[in-house]
Amino acid sequence: MKLKLNVLLAITDALRVKFKNMVADHTKFYSKSQGSFKGAKATYVAREGCLDDMSKRGFTRVVTTVDEKISYFIKESREFIDALFSQEKTNASGLAIADLVVDGKSWGVFTSLELLRLKSLIESAELGSIESMLSSIPVRSDAEIWNKTTNVEYDGREIWESPLLSGVSKTSTKEEYILADPNLSKVTGTYTPKTSLKTITQEVGDYTVQEFSGEWSHRERAGALKRRNDLLIAVTKALKESNECEVVKSDLTAERIFEYIFKG
């Protein structure tokens, strides 16, 4: 029974962490446990009539060799490396293809590499987050009434306007006046009249106020976010279908790569 690409992908994902940890473990072992690669043997035979000195005898066994560690590394990495490059060769062979159906309409048949790149574009932050960009688009307030503007200043542009509000601008001034005094005729000495202030309102001009917006509506932004999600779901489905193809074995194997690096 020939191996399917979807099974190979599962194997690669499962072994990825193991390989990464193995590289880290070997790096740490080579740096921190260099004594494991060294050994020593000391003997001592006392001359006749002299005291024996046990401290001059000793034996430290070489725990491991670099070649042994490398052989283990190559052996344990074989499954992951072989699966990884067979996965890439299968994807590049053009055998892993599927029809991309978005919102009930076919966009055409694409290879798994195209689908993977599209999925990365709309999902990951590798090239910047499309979702974050869409979520940040400014929107008009739903609490106000907006209509497509007919203002000649914005001709040909997607500009919206609020209703035109108009009114009269007014101002007020204070004016002092003398209060009438019915007892004024009886006053014989110095007289100080009583005064008061009155407010006079005056119309000084006419005004209009109108707001304009180049923002989206909440519905437009929500629609863009939904379509981005719909496209992501469609790509995910297409990838599942494309991965049903048979695996093409790669000639880039763990032995070939690491035997050359470590041994030349």
pLDDT digits (tens, 9 = 90+) for 100-133: 999 999 999 999 999 999 999 999 888 788 999 9
Residue 42 lies in a domain: no
| pTM (2 d.p.) | 0.72
**Are residues 165 and 258 both part of a single domain?**
no
| Ranges of the chain with pLDDT below 50 | none
Of 226, 209, 206, the closest CA to residue 144 belongs to: 209
**Residue 108 domain-assigned?**
yes
Check whether residue 128 and residue 69 sit in a common domain. Answer: yes
DSSP conformation class of 185: G
Report residue 105 CA to chain centroid gap: 28
Q: Which domain holds residue 176?
A: 147-180+192-213
Residue 102 pLDDT: 95
Residue 86: closest CA among 6, 5, 1, 2: 5
Regarding whether 169 and 66 lie in a shared domain, the answer is no
The domain total for the chain is 2
Q: Tell me the C-alpha distance between 22 and 69, whole Å.
A: 11
| Residue 200 forms part of a structural domain | yes
Do 15 and 93 lie in one domain? The reply is yes
Are 172 and 227 found together in one domain? no
| 94, 198: one domain | no
Q: Residue 4 and residue 11: Cα distance in Å, rounded?
A: 11
Q: Is residue 185 part of a domain?
A: no
Q: Which of 173, 264, 158, 174 is nearest to 214 (CA)?
A: 158
Q: 115 and 231: one domain?
A: yes
End-to-end CA distance of the chain: 36
Q: What is the pLDDT at residue 187? A: 62
Instruction: Please check whether residues 206 and 109 belong to one and the same domain.
Output: no
Residues 31 and 86 in one domain: yes
Q: What is the pLDDT of residue 184?
A: 65
Distance in angstroms (rounded) separating the CA atoms of residues 233 and 151: 42
Which amino acid, one-letter code, is at 260?
Answer: Y
The whole-number pLDDT of residue 127 equals: 79
Quickly tell me which residue has 């029809």 as its tokens: 99
Phi, psi of 104 (to 5 degrees): 80, 0
Give a yes or no: residue 109 inside a domain.
yes
Return the amino acid letter for 21: N
In a shared domain, residues 84 and 118: yes
Distance CA 19, CA 241 (A): 28
Together in a domain, 257 and 169: no
